[in-house]
Amino acid sequence: MWNMKIENIKVLKTLLSESRDLIIIPHTNPDGDAIGSCLALSHVLKRNGHNSSVICPNKPPHFLHWSPGFNDILYFDSEPENCQKKIEKSTLIFTLDFNDLNRIGELGDLVKSSSSKKIMIDHHRDPKKYADLMFSDPEIGSTCELLFEIMISLGFEKSIDRDISTCIYLGIMTDTGSFQYSSVTSRTHQIVAQLIDKGINQNEIHNKVYNDSSSSRLKVLGSALSNLNLLEDLKTAYMFLKRNDLEKFDYQKGDSEGIVNYGLSLKNVLFSVIFIEDTNDNNNVKISFRSQGEFSCNEFAGEHFNGGGHINAAGGRNDGNAEDAINKFLKILPNYKEKLIN
């Protein structure tokens, strides 16, 4: 059972009782856990008498567009003034599935300067101290799982209907690699059992997220796999996707999601990395890191690639093109040999 911080729950109850207009914000390029947690929280707050709005820095990939409540989300990149007004009118701001305001770009400045109380609900390591109230637990596999525990502690069990359960399941499923990561516990499955009892259709959710690909996604996957490099003595695999190839295959946002995991399917590989050139910025490369066991992707991404995340999954970025990032990576990696091969 989640180690509930009773004091925090009490403070949250008081804050909620004093607030009507609430804002909920996920990280830029929101994933299933970010969207699932924001929508679940928004639904449950509305059901308990609040006006809540979800403001995303930008739009998520299409495989999340079916989520219950998706059409009510506001996007800061397409309507900044409307979002700013909402934030000015609010008294409480929830930030979900991230722990550093630099993860929401310019929206972060508005949050920082707002007089609203800020509440972080997150499961990434090394949280920054911008929030008035923090629910931060890196032991929990997804923000959705943590949020479920918070909802129960707040006494919202009865408000959790099929739609909210679907949103929570979406986040747990995507952030655990469909229940395969070591972050999955018996409690995770107990929560999922409750969600099933609330009427979710897991098969349908799985199909909407994973089996709704365009041919561009498979072509992008093929391109990344054909660029696979294996560094056997460092138990590492890396791949890359060049801007030209992405354009050739009519790359859509989200097409590259999850590709990095294929590196870990290789025998004896425990660190996998993908370098993806940004199709909107020719001086930027997005990097994803995945590991098995003790090797810390979070530290590696934080120390060298302006990023962070979890022990076994992290992200980062680098200036220049993929070749620049790969050269830097290949220079640094041998320093980690001991950690990689032990």
Contacts with ligand 5GP by CB under 6 A lie at 27, 100, 103, 124, 288, 307-310, 313-316
- Min dist. Cβ of residue 314 to ligand 5GP (A): 4
Burial class (CB in 10 A: 0-12, 13-18, 19+), 155: exposed
Q: Which residues of 51-62 are buried (b: 16+ CB within 10 A; e: fewer)?
A: ebbbbbbbebbe
Which residue is associated with the tokens 């809540």? 52
Nearest residue (CB) to ligand 5GP, 55 versus 314 = 314
- Min dist. Cβ of residue 96 to ligand 5GP (A): 11
For 202, half-sphere exposure in the C-beta direction (CA atoms, 13 angstrom radius) is: 14
Residue 326 interaction partner, one of ligand 5GP, Mn ion, none, beta carbon < 5-8 Å per kind: none
For 73, half-sphere exposure in the C-beta direction (CA atoms, 13 angstrom radius) is: 30
Nearest residue (CB) to Mn ion, 98 versus 300 = 98
Give residues in contact with Mn ion (CB under 5 A): 33, 97, 143, 175
Nearest residue (CB) to ligand 5GP, 145 versus 163 = 145
Euclidean distance between CA atoms 276 and 318, whole angstroms:
10
Position closest to ligand 5GP via CB:
315
Nearest residue (CB) to Mn ion, 137 versus 175 = 175
Euclidean distance between CA atoms 113 and 100, whole angstroms:
15
E strands of the chain, at which residues? 21-26, 51-56, 74-75, 92-96, 117-122, 133-136, 229-231, 236-241, 271-277, 284-291, 308-309, 313-319
Burial class (CB in 10 A: 0-12, 13-18, 19+), 197: exposed
Euclidean distance between CA atoms 132 and 202, whole angstroms:
36
- Min dist. Cβ of residue 72 to ligand 5GP (A): 23
Nearest residue (CB) to ligand 5GP, 27 versus 217 = 27
Residue 307 interaction partner, one of Mn ion, ligand 5GP, none, beta carbon < 5-8 Å per kind: ligand 5GP
- Min dist. Cβ of residue 147 to ligand 5GP (A): 15
- Min dist. Cβ of residue 65 to ligand 5GP (A): 18
- The set of residues, in sequence order, having a beta carbon less than 8 Å from that of 132 and lying 6+ positions away, is 117, 118, 119
Torsion-angle region of residue 201: left (phi > 0), alpha (psi -120 to 50) or beta?
beta
Q: Judge contact between 14 and 43, C-beta under 8 A.
A: no
- Min dist. Cβ of residue 52 to Mn ion (A): 20
Nearest residue (CB) to ligand 5GP, 100 versus 132 = 100
Neighbours of 229 (CB within 10 A): 13
Nearest residue (CB) to ligand 5GP, 43 versus 286 = 286
- Min dist. Cβ of residue 105 to ligand 5GP (A): 11
Nearest residue (CB) to ligand 5GP, 60 versus 309 = 309
Residue 288 interaction partner, one of ligand 5GP, Mn ion, none, beta carbon < 5-8 Å per kind: ligand 5GP
Residue 309 interaction partner, one of ligand 5GP, Mn ion, none, beta carbon < 5-8 Å per kind: ligand 5GP
Residue 263 interaction partner, one of ligand 5GP, Mn ion, none, beta carbon < 5-8 Å per kind: none
- Min dist. Cβ of residue 301 to ligand 5GP (A): 7
Helix, strand or coil, per DSSP, at residue 149:
helix
